[in-house]
Amino acid sequence: MASVSAPNFLGSYSAKSLCRIVGFTCLAGFVIDMVAIGLPPSPLELQWRINFFQQLGERSIILLFGAALVLYGNVENRRLIQQIALACLVVGILFHISSILVIRDSTVIRQQAIETISKQATQLQTQIEQSQNNPANATKVTPEQVQQASKRVTTQAQTLQDNARTGVFKAGLSSIGNLVVVGLGFIGLGRFGLRLRKG
């Protein structure tokens, strides 16, 4: 019975081969995730874009890690290194452009949320006033109760608006931060790859 010694077995698998395997696996997993998240595509819808870019930002480190492993795994192939490096530069620039879009979309959705809350608060205030002016409710609802209800609506509307501002700001900042940082990582990786090709 033939046996394979450990050094020979391990020697047949180089670190670069393992990097290529893991790198391509990371890239494939990232692409599958993004396709699943992006379907059905609706890039003109604000909510779809915000959700897509948030998920892209959260998963982007896997893409960067996979690209770095593929770059290292193919370091001896200068032509492929150039293609990978240029692709990294393009992806880095696209990440920075998408972060600008996220800033715009976050501002729009925050304004929409605040306007919706204001409209709902106005409708509730109108209903309170109508119930006060309704002769059937004159004996059931006291002016103090109407004033308390009106004050509660105003307070809750202000709290909801503050929460909307804060929530959208935090989500947008997280997405933008991830996109910008990973974009810088891709640009650095691309520049590194171009230097490797020249060296």
Give Cβ neighbours of residue 150 (< 8 Å, ≥ 6 apart). 125, 128
pLDDT given at position 22:
96
pLDDT bracket for residue 36 (50, 70, 90):
very high
Closest C-alpha to 122, from 164, 147, 150, 162: 150
pLDDT tens for residues 62-115? 999 999 999 999 988 889 999 999 999 999 999 999 999 999 999 998 899 889
pLDDT given at position 12:
46
> 154, 121 in Cβ contact below 8 A?
yes
Break the chain into its structural domains and give their ranges: 15-129+141-198
Q: Compute the distance between CA of residue 199 and CA of residue 197 in angstroms, rounded to an integer.
A: 6
Q: For the residues 20-31, what does the mean pLDDT come to?
A: 96
14: left (phi over 0), alpha (psi -120 to 50) or beta: beta
- Per the confidence metrics, is the pTM higher than 0.85? no
pLDDT tens for residues 2-17? 454 555 545 445 889 9
